[in-house]
Structure 1
């Protein structure tokens, strides 16, 4: 049998009600850091055409092997050279509305990670000199993007906190320093910034490559209470 004492109050329910009726202040914060890229992702291709498929394949295989050997001679590890696509397509000419078979096109694309970003231009030029005839993209990134993002996240939290303090000061209220809710809104990591596009590189002394900087941003939404 259960009895209610006249002076008894449910402490847990009272705390929950107090939390529900507390004055809330919701602020957003943003932070960003700049990171200098330390590696490049290259897409290097070998494209061959021939009426005879076997000839087109062999020529492509020989040139691709030459490109791979050249890249490895620059100190690029074999594990950093991967096939991203391989295609064989028939080619046709159209004359007077008629389709005429021209031959076969064999395309082998390699994704190459250059960990010494200073070698980017050299890697491109040497690859072209030894059989590559397509450079479809260059993408700059950093080896450890999470470290930079965490810095941006810390700045975002500090930014939100400063906003809350300023608002509480103007409102002449007492801000409780510990937030009741913190939400990570979005993130911007630099694994692949907008790629530099190129079609075919001509041989040169050395192709000039400018990696620039990557901007990494973080956003948060924080909820405070005040009295």
Structure 2
């Protein structure tokens, strides 16, 4: 886990927008503390599914269900816990096709049914993500959607970066007090609105490598890092 110190330009902006001793707040130092951190994700989540056609609703749904069983079986065979495998959606809808009617006009005619079954798999061993997708396609899947990366305990990451933001605010206040020849007093208030950013893959992230069996092409996957940030508005008294 690595905390990123705020850039000097951000520090100057914070001081400029929040004066050390505002006219309406005599005897106070107000600063904006900021911090961010980058963490490697500890799980990957992917939605794998199948879409099948059938002449009847039952035929379409049975075909999709059979393929979904193959997805689940493949995930379990690769060591994924049952708690990390779950159905995300099941769909069934009639199909139609355009046909030319006897009078020469175009119309629609029933053309069987389409059924879908999607399974959400959460994988702790992210190096196996590419292999998982490749193997489920061989077991009957024909849909891969919604690949994402996350943390199993995001609250812990948020708390750590918030603490770092408070420490940054105090360090700024101490520098301002020293520069102006005053003594920093106690903290009067701290406002901490949630400012955590949404997790997103970074271009300089971690490359996930999975060994593929001979004759198959590995699916390249990069997990990247998850970046979170926090901001606090802190007011300190000027001591005597």
TM-score using structure 2 length: 0.75
Greater RCO between the two (CA within 8 Å, min separation 6)? 1
| Greater Rg by CA | 1
- Over 3 Å counting, the alpha-carbon distance change for 1:106 and 1:171 in structure 2 is same
Name the structure 1 match of 2:9.
none
CA RMSD of aligned residues (A): 2.3
Structure 2: gaps (5+ residues): 1-23, 100-104, 202-214
Name the structure 2 match of 1:153.
162
TM-score using structure 1 length: 0.79
**2:225 equivalent to 1:213:** yes
Alpha carbons 2:52, 2:63 under 8 Å: kept: yes
Alpha carbons 1:186, 1:220 under 8 Å: kept: no
**2:146 equivalent to 1:137:** yes
Alpha carbons 2:32, 2:234 under 8 Å: kept: yes
Describe the SS at the equivalent of 2:192.
Answer: strand
- Over 3 Å counting, the alpha-carbon distance change for 1:46 and 1:21 in structure 2 is closer
Name the structure 2 match of 1:186.
194
Distance 1:86 1:184 in 2: 42
Structure 1: gaps (5+ residues): 1-19, 195-202
Alpha carbons 1:149, 1:189 under 8 Å: kept: no
Give the alignment of 1:112-123 within 5 angstroms. 112-123=121-132
Aligned counterpart for 2:135 among listed residues 115, 126, 130: 126
Distance 1:155 1:79 in 2: 34
Deviation at 1:97, TM superposition (A): 5.1
